[in-house]
Chain A
């Protein structure tokens, strides 16, 4: 069964450092997403990406965040200057078609710890 792959599974970084979280979506999917889950809280939408541009973003996704699809397979989330409150589990997801519930697949997540 096709999977969304995320690396690393766990990353520890110092406050103020830049981090890049990597995702390999399912190959024939067209929509890509990042979500995050702060410990003990709900899963929150960050950003959606289609046709090489951001299609929607939440209030959380401020200027410190950026996304990129640098090649045909990877989808990255960059946090420029991490803060303690960025510590969370970050989930990547992809779907074939953005406006239906079909084929919406999540990765295993990257646990980011900012110290």
Chain B
């Protein structure tokens, strides 16, 4: 079955700490991978995406993610978080030719303490 697993439900960090949010997927075939962020009261926004090429993808606001095919993983990282990064982060996958329908993980809530 197609699925996305996000390992952490809630992560609490202090400002300037490094961040890594785990994401593993189960999907037959070639995939596109995404990280979305949802700030409180706002809509889902695309942080970054991978669909081919360099497996290390850089996104907005200093975020990056690495696609490791052998581990079916697409972990999100940021070297130094800020209070403004407080949000919920969703990993998602779709398959090539799937008409774009996304399968989401449950999300990880990140709280950054000032």
Contact = CB atoms under 8 A, between A and B. Distances in A.
Interface of A: 4, 31, 33, 35, 41-45, 48, 50, 55-56, 91, 95, 97-101, 104, 106-109
Contacts of B92: 43
Interface residues of B, number: 26
Interface of B: 4, 32, 34, 36, 42-46, 49, 51, 90, 92, 94, 96-107
A3 to B, nearest CB: 8
Given A106-B44, A109-B43, A55 B51 contact: no
Given A45-B102, A48-B100, A101-B100, A108 B42 contact: yes
Contact of A91 (B4, B44, B51, B94): B44
Contacts of B96: 99
A55 B99 contact: yes
Contacts of A45: 101-103
Contact of B43 (A95, A99, A106): A106
